[in-house]
A = this chain, B = another copy of it.
Amino acid sequence: MTWPTTRLTDLLGIEHPIIQAPMAGASTPALAAAVSNAGGLGSLGCAIQTAEVFRSDIGATQKATNRPIHVNFFAHEAPTPDDAKAARATELLAPYYEELGLGDVPPAIATHFPFDAAMLDAVLAVRPQIISFHFGLPEEELVRAIKDAGIILLSSATSVREAVDLEKRSVDAVIAQGWEAGGHRGTYLSSFEGARAGTMSLVPQVVDAVNVPVIAAGGIADGRGIAAAFALGASGVQIGTAFLTCMEAGIPDIHKEILLKSSDDDTRVTKAFSGRPARGIVNRYIEDMAAFENDLPDFPLVNTLTGPLRKASAARGEGDFIALWSGQSVGLNRAMPAGELFDKLVEEAQSVLQHGNK
């Protein structure tokens, strides 16, 4: 088995079939450019940005690399306001606001929005080579405009059912997001209880069900994982958590420190930070809220409520209230510059594919 020139490298116009995951809030222009310049696909998580910040970030990235770039947005359904849930959330969070000296809990309003026509205009103005969505796809008209502009379209599936749906709706490749993955689960059609297949199960079943290339995501953190993904039939991989301890990642230092001392059984999936299930290192907030997750308002309203707690916690250098997003392979994380990590990933994967593990 040799290093594959895969259908994915052809499709994306990149040298190595390795995508740095677009992680909203963590994927800086410096991180994306370092990965693209190393021959992979650098990505920006733009879901919680205004159009202005989006333009500034992609401008900085395009200045730092002339290789393909990938931008990611959310395609969630807009939340249904619920006064009872908002009141309950205020009651649950008020003690933490008091403890951190933050005053009153703010109103449960949305501060970021599903991908829309205005954001489409911002995207078409700067023409990234690749766009992806999480939580499904935006409405058909927006999808058609993206395809018509010649931008490669990707989205995440957490089940075979979702992968088949995405292919029908004309994605160019499917990201099969296994249970191991850090951050938000992309689930949008299957139930959250059902769509928990690990990467080892999800990838071959998705490969058998669709004709487009499949990108394996979740639990891939070194060359062994990359080689394993190819064995499962993937045409490429998407790697997130492993890049979070790179110097270019835009997360608080305490988040990086905690990642570097965490292991396989330290993560949990919680709805308590945003209103949707997402994986991070278990901390005081996740433990406290475990019994109340379903009492909270819809995604992304909760995000507005936890924002001040997350910021204050980071400012104190404490991990108690930060969303310490992390996948289950966190025990494999290494602190190094992104370009150096990328080269290592390629070298390790090639070695496993050529010589096996001894």
* Interface positions of A (Cβ within 8 A of B): 1-2, 4, 158-161, 178-180, 190-191, 193-202, 204-205, 207-208, 218-222, 224-225, 227-233, 263-268, 282, 327-329, 331-332, 352-357
Contact = CB atoms under 8 A, between A and B. Distances in A.
26 contacts: A1-B1, A1-B354, A1-B356, A159-B263, A159-B265, A160-B263, A161-B265, A178-B198, A178-B200, A179-B196, A179-B198, A180-B201, A190-B265, A191-B265, A196-B328, A198-B200, A198-B219, A199-B200, A200-B225, A200-B228, A201-B328, A204-B224, A225-B232, A227-B231, A228-B232, A233-B357
Most buried by B among A200, A263, A267: A200
Given A198-B198, A199-B199, A202-B328, 7 more contacts: A1-B227, A1-B354, A179-B198, A200-B329, A207-B357, A231-B357, A232-B357
Nearest to A163: B264
B204 A356 contact: no
B230 A160 contact: no
Copies of this chain, whole number: 2
Contact of A1 (B160, B204, B218, B352): B352
Contacts of A232: 224-225, 228, 357
Contacts of A207: 357
A4 B266 contact: no
Nearest to A264: B197
A265 B180 contact: no
A204 B332 CA distance: 8
Nearest to A189: B265
Given A228-B232, A230-B356, A201 B264 contact: yes
Contact of A201 (B159, B201, B329, B354): B329
A116 B1 CA distance: 47
A196 B356 CA distance: 27
Nearest to A226: B231
A63 B160 CA distance: 43
A198 B225 contact: no
Nearest to A176: B264
A263 B230 contact: no
Given A1-B352, A198-B219, A160 B264 contact: yes
A208 to B, nearest CB: 8
Most buried by B among A1, A207, A268: A1
A218 B198 CA distance: 9
A294 to B, nearest CB: 11
A306 B98 CA distance: 48
Given A180-B197, A200-B219, A225-B232, A205 B264 contact: yes
